[in-house]
Amino acid sequence: MMPAGRSGPAFIVTSNFYVLKDYNESDAYALFVGHVGDRSKFGVRDFSGAWGDLDKISRTDVLAMQRALEAAGHDVGGADGLIGNKTRRSIGLWQEQNGMPITCYPNSATAVALAR
The whole-number pLDDT of residue 52 equals 67
**Which domain, by its residues, includes 47?**
1-54
> At which of 25, 54, 83 does a domain end?
54
- Do 50 and 18 reside in the same domain of the chain? yes
The whole-number pLDDT of residue 50 equals 67
CA distances from 114 to 18, 23, 39, 92 (A): 30, 32, 41, 12
- Do 40 and 88 reside in the same domain of the chain? no
Per residue in 42-100, pLDDT (tens digit) is: 666 666 666 667 678 899 999 999 999 999 999 999 999 988 889 999 999 999 999 98
* Exposed/middle/buried for residue 99 (C-beta within 10 Å: 0-12, 13-18, 19+): exposed
Q: Please name which of 65, 74, 77, 73 lies closest in space to residue 110, comparing C-alpha atoms.
A: 65
Cα-based torsion angle of the residue sequence 97, 100, 102, 108 in order, rounded to the nearest 10 degrees: -120
- Please give the single-letter amino acid code of residue 14: T
CA distances from 81 to 51, 74, 114 (A): 22, 15, 15
- Do 66 and 108 reside in the same domain of the chain? yes
Number of domains present in the structure of the chain? 2
- Do 38 and 65 reside in the same domain of the chain? no
- Do 42 and 64 reside in the same domain of the chain? no
Looking at the chain, list the stretches that DSSP marks H as alpha helix, in order from N- to C-terminal side.
Answer: 15-23, 27-42, 59-71, 85-97, 108-115
- Do 50 and 78 reside in the same domain of the chain? no
